[in-house]
Amino acid sequence: METMLISKQRMIVMRLKGEIDHHTAGGVRKQLESEIKKSGAVNIALDFKEVTFMDSSGIGVIIGRYKTVTALGGSIVIYNASEQIKRLLEMSGIRKIAIICSTLQEGINIINSSQAIK
């Protein structure tokens, strides 16, 4: 998993690879929490381009980080997800709490426009 920080948006971007299941979800959670504490970021963007499978453990990671970032005034962006993963996100209700889009820039634009409304 690679992470980077986009300072202007106070956003952590994480590229996920492979399966997000009970074997890997804990590592994703720990890495995101550590990066949030180190960087002061309030937004998280998750690149799902190379995710081949996700189960309820992955959904749990997203929900937990949603609680963290919304308490800080931030948002979660999920982009580059396959149709299969998008269906899972839809069925699990994640679409109600996260921005699901095609590109990182699209997610940044949505965050920026929602902050302008506030």
- pLDDT tens-digit readout, 88-117: 999 999 999 999 999 999 999 999 998 655
Query: What whole-number distance in Å separates Cα of residue 101 and Cα of residue 86?
Result: 10
Residue 13: beta bridge partners?
4, 45
What integer pLDDT is reported at residue 115 of this predicted model?
65
Residue 12 DSSP SS3? strand
Q: Count other C-beta atoms under 10 Å from residue 112's C-beta.
A: 11
Residues of the chain with pLDDT under 50: 118
What integer pLDDT is reported at residue 117 of this predicted model?
54
pTM as predicted: 0.92
Query: What whole-number distance in Å separates Cα of residue 111 and Cα of residue 26?
Result: 27
Tokens read off for 55: 């189960």
Strands annotated E in 55-106: 76-79, 99-101
Tokens read off for 105: 């820039």
Query: What whole-number distance in Å separates Cα of residue 22 and Cα of residue 37?
Result: 24
What integer pLDDT is reported at residue 17 of this predicted model?
94
What integer pLDDT is reported at residue 6 of this predicted model?
80
Tokens read off for 63: 């929900």
CA 55, 58, 59 angle in degrees (round to 5)? 90
